[in-house]
Chains A and B, each alone.
Chain A
């Protein structure tokens, strides 16, 4: 779990954060601080701009750069167009101005000459070869389909990861740190993406609930305590809770976790386990 940094600690590490030269936890802690700090936030943005300019110092490699850039541009725009078209998978694609190949039906009477018979015999042999090739091609197509399936799954995972990163670090995200109400062990961070109305809480060191009990998360406003779901921590004490709930931007006062009967309750009744005030 990320330890919150004070201003001096975060300020010292801003240049390293701009260079992505911190280890994961420290990088996250600096970004969290900068998100809320009116001094470190703009300073980090300025350092990032400066650091990004270092790319201009990278020499272009030798070789056919322009043709490589042009080929990548063509692939990129084709990919984007394909996304736009939103065609069903496997649907045929015909470039504008290209007519599909038509096989003309023979007109009038015709007779099989010896030459044609010879050609037909050769064709039979050719068909056998084609059938063998077709079987090989079908195996390749099946393998390609498997690859496409794997690629689609990987893309879906990446999209999910990107979505999570955005929920945690987006410009509309507010972070509430929860601490244990009694004892030092449990803690949690709630990320509220106000643009998407999404809530994501990471908890750690939470002890297992007593038998027949569960933990329930509450969004506390001046007029209501709204349930954001129940959870049971993993054996190592970790838990992730996600919820979608629209809330007025200024109405959140606190986030709390209570111990409740299994299945949850409409309003909190049990012991307060963790709480964090919204700033």
Chain B
């Protein structure tokens, strides 16, 4: 498939997301299936990364879309894309589960976050996942490229916050850096990611 065509199709598909959610809100189960087919891989990748347990990841995946279906009326397009909404639900559910697990088993809050470079691991798996569509590959490459532009210390705080669910205070304790330094790194990293990923999506819209 021509990647350009794939991107255009992907973009139009994303544009259609709010309409799918609107119809889902009216109780149309078929639209739930379409939203699931479009975003389940991204949600599953995220919760698998956070939970490191396939059965827990299965549960949170199902729970995420069930919650989205139940509360479709709460989706507000002015607050972000449908994918943002779904991934936020998924991440919140996964972190809740990690915290429950932590309480039950006294596990650390960073399950399996072994410090392996995420970009390196993601790149390796992308090659090993031929079923990922060209759109997913393209998006992943751009996000990894954006992460790659961050200095290592900024990338580290972003990964510890997003993929391990740590607060700035916890990151400071874990890395041994002053809290003020962590705050500055988070702020600078956020600005850069917004700029880089914003450029990418603006570029796609211009195609």
Using a CB–CB distance below 8 Å, which chain A residues touch chain B? 12-16, 18-23, 45-63, 65-66, 68-69, 71-73, 75-77, 79-81, 84, 162, 166, 170-171
Contact = CB atoms under 8 A, between A and B. Distances in A.
Given A46-B198, A84-B27, A18 B36 contact: no
Interface stretch (B1-9, B15-23, B78-86, B103-111): B78-86
A201 to B, nearest CB: 22
A147 to B, nearest CB: 16
Contacts of B156: none
10 nearest A-B pairs in the assembled complex, by CB-CB distance: A15-B190, A59-B125, A58-B49, A52-B84, A21-B161, A55-B46, A58-B45, A19-B161, A59-B122, A50-B194
Given A21-B166, A23-B167, A56-B140, A65 B129 contact: yes
A65 B33 CA distance: 17
Interface class of chain A by DSSP: helix
B54 to A, nearest CB: 7
A85 B7 CA distance: 39
A22 B48 contact: no
Interface residues of B, number: 76
A23 B169 contact: yes
Contacts of B124: 59
Nearest to B141: A56
Contact of B191 (A15, A56, A68, A84): A15
A255 B127 CA distance: 60
Given A15-B191, A50-B198, A68 B44 contact: yes
Given A13-B183, A21-B168, 6 more contacts: A23-B169, A56-B45, A72-B62, A73-B40, A79-B62, A80-B32
B78 A45 contact: yes
B190 A56 contact: no
